Structures are given as structure tokens and as C-alpha cells.
Copies of this chain bind each other. A is one copy, B any other.
């Protein structure tokens, strides 16, 4: 008899079936016992009436892995309207040890460090598991959207010879006697690949030797990166960001019904105007500020919600002075840039913009610096690159905002930070 999943029970009423999974919960009543079995699809209720089976169940603590054969019976009071009766239980693992916390409770109300220390067990909790499912769905949606737009997926080096891309702090390592660094982003590679495929994306780990202990920074996170050529300016990139987010949300909605709406056009506000609005509202003089503080982003998130009914808001035109060297200036007023951040519920979710594409512009942007570390990068521009731009979305941040997690560690599988390198 083939194993079926808990969610397939309804189609087998009256038939003998085989289930397998974890003992999610036992309810040992006087006259009867219930075994709630958890498998990858959901939960199944098994009614244990026979004394020898009950004795067996009593010796198998929660999380023991078992196989159960029995007959499916309709019961309107059972979850899903069906349960398994007359079971024969076989343990597939040794009896599980005493759990650090109860997994069958609706909420896993333990302190975050405890939860993270015991991640291999904590992730089995239905709510924790769902977060990982949402994350997988978001990635699938991202890829689906970009595949549909003619993008090609690439996998680029995570070991690089120089840490030249931006000011972010990098991890250094010994590479066969030489110094190497962990890539802080696939920025240079995705730009070079625009010269090959016009449109590329990468889903992969990026590394930041982030010395700050905050709720939104990690030493490793999953970056959803895209880059595209033959654009007019950053607004063409923003349209692709919108498509990517819509794809992510659509796929997430197959796991969870509570998803934000994605407007046909995400509202956008220029950095200068945003600064003015925020300054006025908070009674601060922000003129000349080169960036938005988290509090400012939060205010803008609420403003976008009230003003446009949107969870998403683009802030465009950040001052050139705060953006990396490859940023394209706004042609009419080069103090500002053709760049953007995307705020999701008042927090930075994505960053992107138009890049420089002329070889001469790169030489000018890097004037006074040693060009050797940029040699391969510059080669791409020397041999013809179209106007292009791109963006990066932080996967963990997206999921954190989606589920309303206060700390990004709650939505990261085995997070890495200043203090945490295990599990």
C-alpha cells in the first residue's frame, strides 16, 4: 500500500490507507487516545482505541516518526471531516527525546535566542515552517516573473579578488595564499552579463561583515538581483521591480491568503520632496540630508498607505553623493541620481537604479583610483554596453515585512550575525 498524505485522506473515506509522519500531539483520554500526525502536507487525526496500540503510543513521545496504517472514517468533528480508525502504529525512529518547547501549541512563545538555538526543531512548528514556505514561494514568484520577461538566470562567483564595489564591510579569507573576499553582491557580474544576455537575474547568498547588531541586518542573506539593458532610465527598472514584486506576491498567495495588494503602478516620490514632507511632518530641518533615516522611511510608509492605499512606495532620485560610483546621475540635474529605493510598509526592501554605461564615464567616476581591481569590469564597458540598470531585493526582509516580523532573524533559515554562527 502506497503512503498517502494527510490532505489526501478525504478522497479515501472507507478505504485502508498508510500515513507517515511525526507525532505532533497525543491526547491520552481515559476511553480513547488521539494521535495527531504531522506530515509535509498537514495534520491527520488518528483514533487509537485498541489497548496494545495505545500502550505503544504511550511510549512514543511527540516528534517520534511513525508509520500508521488504518481505515479512513468520516467524522464531522475531526479536522478535515475525516480521521483514521483501527490504526497499526510502527515507529520509524527511536522515541524522541524531551522537547525544549512544545511544538503543537498554536504559537511558539519562546524567546528568539532559544528558538534560534534549537532551529532544527523550532522550524518544525507549523508557523515557523510556513515562513520558510512563504520564502520559497516568493523566490519562485520572482523567477517566474523574470523568466516571463526574457531574463536569463546566472550563478556568479562568491569569492572575489577585491572589495571595490561599495563601502560595505566584507569578509576576507585566505585563498591559496592570496587574499580573497566574499562577494557583498553580484553587482559587477550582473552588469557584465547584461553585455551577454541583456537581462539577467541571480538568486543567491551575499555576505556583509555587518558590525551592527540590529533587527534588520545579517552577515549572510539571500539577494534577489536583476539587471537589464536597453532602458531609457530608472523608470524602466522600476517597472520590472513592480513585475517582480507582483510575481512574488502572487506566488505567496498560494501559501497564505493574507498578501498585500501591488498597485498597477507603484506610487513614487522624489527624494527631495520626500525629505520636505517628512521634515514638515516631524518638525525637523532635513534640508541637505543625504539619506533617509529609518524613522523617515516609517513615516513615508504610513503616508503612502494613507495617500495611495499602497504598502509600497518608491523613493527616487537619491543624492549622487550617497550612491555607489556606478550610479547614473539625473541628466537634467546631476546632483540627484537616477536611482530608487522601494519601501515596503515603511522599510527599505529593494534598492536600484540606472547605472553608468559609457566607458568614459567609468574612467571619470574612478579617476584617481587604481584601476587594476576594476580591469574585467571595465572591459565589459570598453566593448559596448547598453544603457542599463537593475535592482536587488532582500528576500528575508520581504518575508519579514510580509508576516510582520519585528526581527529579520525570525524569517531567516539559520541566521548569521555578529554573535551567531550556529546552528
Chain B residues near A22: list those with CB within 8 A. Answer: 195, 384
A391 at interface, CB cutoff 8 A: no
A383 touches B421 (CB 8 A): no
Chain B residues near A275: list those with CB within 8 A. Answer: none
Knowing A94-B360, A173-B173, A421-B161 touch, does A65 contact B197 (C-beta < 8 A)?
A: no
**Bound complex: CA of A323 vs CA of B88, how far in Å?**
36
Q: Count of chain A residues with Cβ under 8 Å from any Cβ of B?
A: 92
B-contact 0/1 string along A170-207, CB 8 Å cutoff: 01111110101010000001001101111100001101
Chain B proximity of A240: nearest CB distance (Å): 15
B385 touches A65 (CB 8 A): yes
A387 touches B153 (CB 8 A): no
* Cβ 8 A contact of A158, one of B93, B140, B205, B385: B205
B384 touches A132 (CB 8 A): no
Which residue from chain B places its CB closest to the CB of A125 in the assembled complex?
B196
A26 at interface, CB cutoff 8 A: no
Give 16 new A-B contacts, CB below 8 A, not counting A156-B413, A173-B182: A3-B230, A40-B198, A93-B385, A93-B386, A96-B384, A118-B379, A119-B192, A120-B379, A120-B383, A139-B155, A155-B395, A158-B207, A159-B219, A175-B219, A180-B421, A193-B413
17 A-B residue pairs with CB within 8 Å: A20-B386, A22-B195, A92-B386, A93-B357, A93-B358, A93-B359, A94-B360, A132-B197, A133-B152, A139-B153, A157-B414, A158-B207, A159-B207, A159-B416, A176-B211, A180-B421, A376-B423
